Structure 1
Amino acid sequence: MFEHHENYDRYIPDVMLKKHKKHEEYLNDVYAGMSHEEIYKSKLGTVEDALAIIESGDCIVNSIHGCEPRLFYRNLHRIADRIDPNNPVELWSCVHRWGPEYEVHTNPELKDKFHHQTFFYDGNFRKIHPSGMSTYFPVNLHNYGQELHRCKRPNVVVIGVSTMDEHGYCCVSCDLQWEMESLYSADKIIFEVNPKIPHLPGECAVPVAMADVIIESDLDLYELQDPPIGEAEKTVAQYAAEMVHDGDCIQLGFGGIPNAIGFELMDRHDLGIHTEQIGASMAHMLQKGVVTNRYKNLDKGWSVGTFIIADNFTYEYLNNHPRVLMRRGRYTNDPMIIAQQDNMVSINAALQIDLTGQVAAEAIANIQWSGTGGATDYAYGAYHSKGGRAMLCQISTAKKGTVSRIAPILDPGSIVSVSRNLTDMVVTEYGVAKLRARTVKQRVENLIAVAHPDFRAELRKEANKYMYF
Structure 2
Amino acid sequence: MTERPRVFVSASAAEPFAAAPLSRRLEPLRSATFEGGFIPGVNGFDWSGLGPQARMAGPFMAPAWRPIAEAGRYERLPLTYHGFARRVAAASYAAGLFMVTPPDAQGLCSLGTTVDFAPTAFGRCAVRIAVINPALPRLPGAATLPLAAFDEVIAHESPLVEYAVRPPGPVETAIIGHIAALIPDGATVQAGIGRLGDAVWAALSDRSDLSIHSGMICDPVADLIAEGRFRQVTVGSLLGSRAFYARAAALPGLTMAPALYTHDVAVLAAIPRFAAVNSVLEIDLLGQVNAEWLDGQAVSGPGGLPDFIRGAHLSPGGLPIIALGATARGGTVSRIVPRLTVPPTLTSIDAGIVVTEHGAVDLRPLDREGRAMALIRLAAPDHQADLLKAWQAQG
TM-score (norm 2): 0.92
1:129 Cα deviation after fit: 2.0
Q: Deviations over 1:290-345 (max 9, x none)?
A: 212xxxxxxxxx31111111222321221254521111111111101001110100
CA 1:433 to 1:98, structure 2 compared with 1: closer, same or farther past 3 Å? closer
Q: Runs of 4+ in structure 1 displaced over 4 angstroms?
A: 74-80, 96-102
Pairing 1:390-405 to 2, within 5 Å after superposition: 390-405=320-335
Q: Which amino acid is the alignment partner of residue 203 of structure 2?
A: E
Query: What are the residue-to-residue correspondences of 1:10-409 with 2, within 5 Å?
Result: 57-73=4-20, 88-95=31-38, 100=44, 102=46, 104-105=47-48, 112-148=52-88, 150=90, 152-292=91-231, 302-321=232-251, 323-364=253-294, 366-409=296-339
More strand by share: 2
Kindly provide the amino acid, as one letter, of the partner of residue 199 in structure 1.
Answer: R
User: Which amino acid in the other structure matches residue 63 of structure 1?
Assistant: S
The alpha carbon displacement at 1:425 in A equals 0.8
**Do the aligned partners of 1:74 and 1:101 also contact (CA within 8 Å) in 2?**
no
Structure 2 residue identity aligned to 1:64 = A
Query: Which residue identity is paired with 1:124?
Result: A
Structure-2 change in CA distance of 1:319 and 1:124 (3 Å): farther
Which one has the bigger helix percentage? 1
1:79–1:273: structure 2 CA closer, same or farther, 3 Å change rule?
closer
Q: 1:383 to 1:83 in 2, by over 3 A?
A: closer
SS in 2 for 1:386: coil
Partners in 1 of 2:89 and 2:173 — Cα distance?
A: 41
SS at match of 2:68: helix
Q: Distance in 2 between matches of 1:238 and 1:98?
A: 28
Secondary structure of the corresponding residue to residue 271 of structure 2 = coil
Offset at residue 228 of structure 1 (A): 4.2
- Residues 164 and 322 of structure 1: CA distance in aligned 2, closer, same or farther (over 3 Å): farther
Greater CA drift, 251-260 or 302-311: 302-311
User: Distance in 2 between the 1:281 and 1:232 partners?
Assistant: 18
In structure 2, list runs of 5 or more residues that go unmatched: none
With 420-429 and 162-171 compared, the bigger mean Cα shift is at 162-171
What letter is aligned with 1:134? Y
Residue 94 of structure 1 contacts residue 121 of structure 1 at CA under 8 Å; is this kept in 2?
no
Residue number in structure 2 paired with 1:34: none
Q: Which of 325, 346, 349 is the matching residue for 1:421?
A: 349
Q: Distance in 2 between matches of 1:234 and 1:199?
A: 35
Q: Structure 1 190/395 Cα, relative in aligned 2: closer, same or farther at 3 Å?
A: same
Q: Which letter does structure 2 place at the counterpart of 1:334?
A: D
Secondary structure at the residue paired with 1:157?
Answer: strand
Given that 2:358 and 2:378 are in contact with CA atoms closer than 8 Å, whether structure 1 keeps it comes out as yes
Structure 1 length normalisation: TM-score?
A: 0.78
The number of residue pairs the alignment matches comes to 392
Match of 1:439 in 2: 367
Contact 1:64 1:174 in 2 (8 A): no
RMSD value, Cα: 2.4
Change (3 A) 1:69 1:83: closer
CA distance in 1, matches of 2:86, 2:280: 26
Instruction: Provide closer, same or farther for how the CA distance between residues 239 and 251 of structure 1 changes in structure 2, counting only shifts above 3 A.
Output: same
Contact conserved, 1:111 with 1:132, CA < 8 A, in 2?
no
How far residue 141 of structure 1 moved from its aligned partner, in angstroms, is 1.3
CA contact (8 A) 1:271 1:291 kept: yes
- Asked whether the 8 Å contact 2:42–2:162 carries over to 1, the reply is no
